[in-house]
Structure 1
Amino acid sequence: MKRILIGIVVLAGLAIVAWGGGAMLTETAATRWMDDRRADGWVANASDISVGGFPLRFTILFEDVELADPGTGLAWSVASLELQQDVFRLDRITARWPAAQIIASPFERLTVASPDTEDLHVSAMLDVQPTNRFALDAMTAETGALHVTSSEGWETRWQEGTLNVARVEGTDTTYDLSARAAAMVPPQVWRTRLDPAGLLPETIQFAEVRATATFDAPWDMDAVERARPQVTALDIDDVSMAWGDMLFRATGTLEVTPGGIPEGELSVRAENWAAMVDLASNAGIVPDRIRATAEAMLQVLAGMTGRPENIDATLTFSNGRMFVGPLPIGPAPSLRLR
C-alpha cells in the first residue's frame, strides 16, 4: 500500500512538473507572438496573458486584446480571447471570445454586439497542425444572435450564423466550406433603396453557401501574419437565399483570376424573378433604359421552364462582366480577400 501511495505521489509530481513546463512554453509562445507582431509594425496589445486549465488543459487567456495589421489596415479589439487545448490533443483548439467586439478597416468601423445578453460569446473549434505553422485542417464556428452597427450609418442583425471548413484530404490548399445565416435583417438604407414601397418582409429567411474552394496558399499562421490566401477556383454546390417569396439558387464552377475576378458559368434558378428585377432596377444594376428589354428577354427564358414566374438559366462571368443568357446585368464581383 505504501508503495502504491508513493507511486501516486511521484506520478502526480511528474504531472504537475510536465503541465507547468507546458504552460510556461505556451505563455512564452503567446507573448513572443505578440512581441513579433509589434516588431513588424502591428498594434498588438493585451493587458494580461495567463495560462490555466490544470491538469488536463492548457487554457490561455488574453485580456483587452487589440490587433491591427498595418499592411491591410484591418483591426480587431475585444475584451478577452480564450484559447483552450487538451493536454493530449494539442492539435485541437477551442477559441472563445465575447460577441461584443470592434472590427475596423480603412473604410469603416463595425461594432458587434448581442441584442439578447451581454454574456453571449462566439466560439470556434479548430483542428490544426501544430508542427506545420498551425495549418488549418478543420474549423466549426457558431454565433447566436448578433447586431452589427457601422460607422457609415447602417446596421444589420441576424439570429444565428454557422461556418464550417474542412481541408480536402490529400491537398494543402483546397477546403470544403459551408456557411449559413438565418433570420437576417438587412440595413435599412439597403431596404429603402431596394424596396422603397416596403413590400418585402423585414427579415431575409436565410442565406447559405456550400462550396469547395482552392486557394493559392494554405490557411496557416502566415495567413494571419503576412497575407490572406486568395481564391483561385470555386466548385459551388449551392448558393441560395430566400427573401419573402423570392428564392435564388446557383451551382457551378468558377476560376478566379489573380485579380480576384471570377470566370465561368453557374446554373441558376430564380423564383419570382420579376420581383428580383424590381430590386435590381431600384439598386441601379439594371438601368431604366434597358429594363423593358431585360424583362422581355427574361420572360422568354421563363417561358422555357413551364412556369412563367420562375427562371432556370445560365449566369456567365466573362471579362469582368455578368450575363444571364445573352443579357448583361453588371460587373462581376471581386473575390479578393483583404
Structure 2
Amino acid sequence: MRRVILGMVLLAAVWSAWWGVAAGGLHQGLTRWFDARRAEGWQADVASLPMHGYPFTLGVTLVRPVLADPATGVAIEASGLTIRAPAYWPGYVTLEVPDDPILLASPQGRASLTLQDGRADLRLHPGTALALDSMAVTTGAWSLDAHGDGSVMSAQTLTLAMTETDGPEAAYRFDIVAEGFRPGDLPRARLRVPRDWPLRFDSLKARMDATFDRRWDRRAIEDARPQPRSLDLNLLEAVWGDLRIKAAGTLTIDAEGVPDGTVSVQAENWRDLLDLADAAGLLPGPVRSQVERALGTLAGLTGNPDTLDVQLNVRNGFVAAGFLPLGPAPRLILR
C-alpha cells in the first residue's frame, strides 16, 4: 500500500512538473509572439496572460488584447480571449470569446461584433506551423453593428464548420448555417426594404468546397490570409418571406480576385426580388419593365412562370444572366 501511495505521489509530481513546464512554455510563446508582432510594426498589446486549468487543461486568458496590422488596416480589440487545450495534447484547442462587444476596424469602417457563448474548436496538425485540420465555430445570438450607423446583421445562432479535405493541398469544406438571420436596420434602410417585409430569414445555409493558394496556418494571422483559387458551391439556400433562392456553381479565381465560371440560380417568387431592387432604386421604371420581361421569358421556359431557373455566367469580371448583363463581378479577396 505504501508503494502504491508513493507511486501516486511520484506520478502527481511528474505530472505537475510537466504541466508547469507546458504552461510556462505557452505563456512564453504568447509573449514572444506579441513581441514579434510589435517588432514588425503592429500594434500588439495585452494587459496580462494569467494561466489556469491545472491539472488536466492548459488554459490562458488574454486580458484586453489589441491587434492592428498596418499592412491591411485590419484591427481587433476585445476584453478577453480564453484559450484551452488538453494538457496531454495541445493540438486540440478551444477558443472562447466574451459576451461583450468585440471592436473591429478595417479600411471599410469600424464595427462591433457581439457573440453569446461564442467558441471555436480547432484541430491542428502536429508541428510549429499550427496548420488547421478542422474548425467548428458555434455561437448563440450574435450581432454586427456599424460604428455610429446602426445594426448591420444579426442571427439567433451561427454554426460554421471548416474541414480540410482529402483532395488537393489547401482544400477545405465549409458548412454554414445561420438560424434566424436578420438584416439590420442599416441595410434595410439603404435598400429601402418595405416595412411589411419579414424581419428574419426562414433559412440561410451554405455548403461549399474551396481551394486556397496555401494552407491555413499561423501565417494567416502573422503574414496574410490565404486567398481562394477555386470555389465549388454545392448549395446556397436562402428563404426570406415568399422569396426562395437556391444556388450552386463552380468558380475559379485569379491572383487579382477576379472570378470566372458559372452559377445556377433557382428563385421562387422571383418578382419579389425585383420589388426589392425597385424599392432600392436599383431598377428605374423602364429598366424594371425590360428586366421583368426578359426574366419572365426565361421563367416561362421552365413551365412555371413564378420560378426562375437561370445560369449566371461570370466572365472577364462581369456577370450576365443569359443574354442579360447584370454588372461587374465582386472581387473575392480576403483582407
Question: TM-score, normalised to structure 1's length?
Answer: 0.94
Name 1:112's counterpart in structure 2: 113
For 2:161 and 2:217, the matched residues in 1 are separated by 16
Match of 2:31 in 1: 31
Residue identity in the other structure for 1:74: V
Mapping 1:64-79, distance limit 5 Å: 64-79=64-79
Query: Counterparts of 2:64 and 2:105 in 1: how far apart (Å)?
Result: 16
Code of the aligned partner of 1:278: D
Deviations 1:134-193 (A, max 9, x none): 111100001111232212513132111111000012543100011121212212242234
SS at 2:54 equivalent: coil
- Distance, in Å, in 2 between the alignment partners of 1:233 and 1:204 is 28
Q: Who is 1:145 aligned against?
A: 141
What is the letter of the counterpart of residue 241 of structure 2? G
Q: CA deviation at 1:196?
A: 4.8
Aligned to 1:229: 226
Aligned-partner residue type, residue 5 of structure 1: I
Distance 2:182 2:8 in 1: 58
- 3-state DSSP of counterpart to 1:198: coil
TM-score (normalised: structure 2): 0.95
Q: Which amino acid aligns with 2:111?
A: L
Q: CA offsets, 1:264-311, max 9 Å, x none?
A: 111110011111122223445445443222111111111111211111
Q: Secondary structure at the match of 2:90?
A: strand
Task: Give ranges in structure 1 of 5+ residues lacking alignment.
Answer: 115-119
Cα distance, 1:286–1:315 mapped onto 2, change above 3 Å = farther
Indicate the residue corresponding to 1:5 in structure 2: 5
Work out which of the residue numbers 166, 169, 172 in structure 2 matches 1:169.
166
For 1:157-236, list aligned pairs within 5 A. Answer: 157-169=154-166, 171-236=168-233
Q: SS at 1:204's partner residue?
A: coil
**Unaligned 5+ residue runs, structure 2?**
none
1:286–1:263 CA distance, 2 compared to 1 (3 A): farther
Q: Is the 8 A contact 1:193 1:282 kept in 2?
A: no
Q: Find the partner of 1:131 among 110, 127, 130.
A: 127
**What amino acid sits opposite 2:105 in the alignment?**
A
Following superposition, which runs of at least 4 residues in structure 1 exceed 6 angstroms of deviation? none
In the alignment, the residues of structure 1 paired with residue 316 and residue 233 of structure 2 have an alpha-carbon distance, to the nearest angstrom, of: 20
Summarize the Cα distance change of 1:129–1:311 in structure 2 as closer, same or farther, 3 Å threshold: same
Residue in structure 2 matching 1:252, options 249, 252, 256:
249
Please say if residues 90 and 130 of structure 1, whose CA atoms lie closer than 8 Å, have aligned partners that are also in contact: no
Task: Give the corresponding residue for 2:18.
Answer: 18
Give the 3 Å change call, closer, same or farther, for CA 18–132 of structure 1 in structure 2: closer
- Listed one character per residue, the Cα deviations across residues 238-268 of structure 1 (whole Å, up to 9, x for unaligned) are 1121110001111111111211121111111
Tell me how large the CA RMSD over aligned residues is.
Answer: 1.6
1:197–1:8 Cα change, 3 Å:
closer
Q: Quote how far apart the aligned CAs of 1:109 are.
A: 1.2
Give the counterpart letter for 2:10 in structure 1.
Answer: V
**Percent pairwise identity:** 35
| Cα pair distance change 1:328/1:288, threshold 3 Å | farther
Contact 2:91 2:123 in 1 (8 A): yes
Corresponding position of 1:91: 91
Higher mean C-alpha displacement, 278-287 vs 62-71:
278-287
**Aligned counterparts of 2:158 and 2:148: Cα–Cα separation in 1:** 23
Paired with 1:288 and 1:229, the residues of 2 have a C-alpha distance of 43
CA contact (8 A) 1:252 1:265 kept: yes
Q: For residues 207-265 of structure 1, give each alpha carbon's deviation from its aligned partner in whole angstroms, at most 9, with x where no partner exists.
A: 22210000011110111110011110001101121110001111111111211121111
SS across alignment from 2:208: strand
Letter in 2 for 1:231: P
Matched residues in 2 for 1:62 and 1:99: separation? 15
Take 2:171 and 2:281, find their aligned partners in 1: how far apart are those partners?
36
- Distance in 1 separating the partners of 2:244 and 2:167: 36
